[in-house]
Amino acid sequence: MKNKIAPSILSADFGTFAQEVQKLEKAGADVVHIDVMDGHFVDNLTFGAGVVAAIRPVSNLFFDVHMMVEEPQKYVDEFAKAGADSMTVHVEATPHIHGTLQAIKKAGMKASVAINPGTSVELIKPVLSMVDMVLVMTVNPGFGGQAFIPEAIEKVAELAKLRTEKELDFEIEVDGGITDETISQALDAGANVFVAGSFVFKGNVTENIEKLRAKLD
């Protein structure tokens, strides 16, 4: 599976999103990770589909929308129209996870399910055959710049094993505290999509992406 670097624009300059996203494309990012927060599921607020629509015309990169909101099924069509390529919903925030993943696919997006550090893989087993990606949170969601939780990596390995056993093909994404030091643990366990916010945007974006990529070879 292709290894992908997915910078999170949560750590970008909110005043100049369009330029920041263009910068990512030039710097060799594979995916733009877009963190949507509602102040209920997590104690932070970010933005909605309007921001996705605003940056869509300036980039051809894959837009990976991470919904840290309760009842994300309400927003599926809105984000699809705005130009999102993939929508990730948390099993903890989505009462009808199966139906919501179906709705995401029906809207023409890739469908992905996320689990928090305290959530077991067991909870998403029934939907593994229908997802394009599983997001394993390696911090508690809500804020950038937190420390990586190493125990979460066991779930990456568990998912990679299940994928082989069940002959499935979902990608495995890790999100939170990913740096040039922690990325290798996630890679070794079987992850292939690496979200990084503060590590990418602190200092030189191109150099930071290269530092991550160097660890994936």
Residue 11: both structure tokens together: 């750590």
Q: Is 175 a catalytic residue?
A: yes
Q: Contact with ligand DX5 (CB under 6 A): which of 4, 11, 36, 174?
A: 11
Q: Is 180 a catalytic residue?
A: no
Residue 89 contact among ligand DX5, Zn ion, none, beta carbon within 5 to 8 Å by kind: none
Residues 6 or more apart whose Cβ sits within 8 Å of residue 23 = 205
Question: Phi/psi class of residue 145: alpha, beta or left (left: φ > 0; alpha: ψ in -120 to 50)?
Answer: left
Residue 92: both structure tokens together: 């903890």
- Assess 38 for contact with Zn ion (CB under 5 A): no
Burial classification of residue 88, based on how many CB atoms lie within 10 Å of its CB (0-12 exposed, 13-18 middle, 19 or more buried) = buried
Catalytic site residue from 35, 38, 64, 132: 35
To the nearest whole angstrom, how small is the minimum distance from the Cβ of residue 164 to ligand DX5?
27
Q: Are 53 and 83 in contact (CB under 8 A)?
A: yes
Q: Which stretch binds ligand DX5 (CB under 6 A): 7-15, 53-61, 93-101, 152-160?
A: 7-15
Among residue numbers 147 through 206, which ones bind ligand DX5 (CB under 6 A)? 175-178, 195-199
Give dist(CA 180, CA 208) in Å, integer. 8
Q: Are 9 and 196 in contact (CB under 8 A)?
A: no
* Contacts with ligand DX5, residue ranges (CB under 6 A): 8, 10-11, 33, 35, 66, 68, 139, 141-146, 175-178, 195-199
> Which residues in this chain contact Zn ion in the complex, by CB under 5 A?
35, 66, 175
Q: Could you tell me which residues are annotated as the binding site? A: 8, 33, 35, 66, 142-145, 175-177, 197-198
